[in-house]
Structure 1
């Protein structure tokens, strides 16, 4: 692998590390929930627990990532983007950050409003933080959580496609700033 240009603007090591850790946790959360129904009944609960753990990891990791982003900002893209390309990127990033916060919170609320503790792998659990007597609300929140999950397949896909487009067709350093 070629050595990195020390003068090329990049996100900080912490920002890059958190980006890829969160990416891995989101990927795992999606994987666990999507393979759950293909498994025998006994293994489904374990996949659900793993899904919860990955979602909670996202929720815990997004806060330091946001703090670093606010403190350090984003390095400039070279060559600079025209305004008509800058605004869609800002909107997509805002949607991604909102998703990374809202989605795990909706999942937690749905489980707890349904009267269940959030069970995690290795016998760990998050105790009930919400009064669990709202089953209809729990079902509604779960539906929103699932629907947003499908919508954000597209948002995540747009984010990845845009990074690849910048790299392959525009020839700028958008993607290189995060590696």
Structure 2
């Protein structure tokens, strides 16, 4: 007896996808809008701490998503993609997952080497810093974190445009598999 191939991603993967999309938007908004508050102000501190914790949540959810993806698999695109399109899709997805894991690690390393505390929400308790303060390293990590973040505006935009292309031009089920 043949096992039916699901037409959509599992409910877990669909929920994680959209939750992470919202969290990534929140991470970008928090960091981009921190300038609304003067340096040293409570508002700016709250924006930075929010950015840190959204990043940590993305990091943790990425691992859950990888486990779920391995367990649940991915439904095939109908009609199937040509070899180059499939390769491009795989490359974008690998880049996205690398981003979900590397960026929070770079962010935490930046905060710790810059001497910034990452506070437990709604407490006065800081996570222990795993790296020593080193302002030169902090500036290098911050530049790298920022450059990758800016590059990922393009990768995320490409991901969204590809989904829309598949839905409206190619008329396959790529986007419908994730709703």
For the criterion TM > 0.5, the same-fold answer is yes
- State the match for 1:17 in structure 2: 15
Q: Which whole-Å deviations, capped at 9, do the CAs of 1:18-45 have from their partners, x for residues lacking one? A: 1111111111000011111023443111
- State the match for 1:4 in structure 2: none
| Alignment partner of 1:36 out of 24, 27, 34 | 34
- State the match for 1:71 in structure 2: 71
Matches within 5 A, 1:22-101: 22-40=20-38, 41-101=41-101
8 Å contact 2:109–2:131 — kept in the other structure?
no
8 Å contact 1:50–1:120 — kept in the other structure?
no
Question: Alignment RMSD, CA only?
Answer: 1.7
Which runs of structure 1 show a deviation greater than 4 angstroms over 4 or more consecutive aligned residues?
A: none
Whole-angstrom distance in 2 between the partners of 1:92 and 1:175: 15
Q: CA deviation at 1:53?
A: 1.2
* TM-score w.r.t. length of structure 2: 0.91
Unaligned runs of 5+ in 1: 1-6
Unaligned runs of 5+ in 2: none
Distance 1:167 1:104, change over 3 A: same
8 Å contact 1:116–1:128 — kept in the other structure?
no
Q: Which whole-Å deviations, capped at 9, do the CAs of 1:103-156 have from their partners, x for residues lacking one? A: 000000111122222125323654224232322111111110011000000000
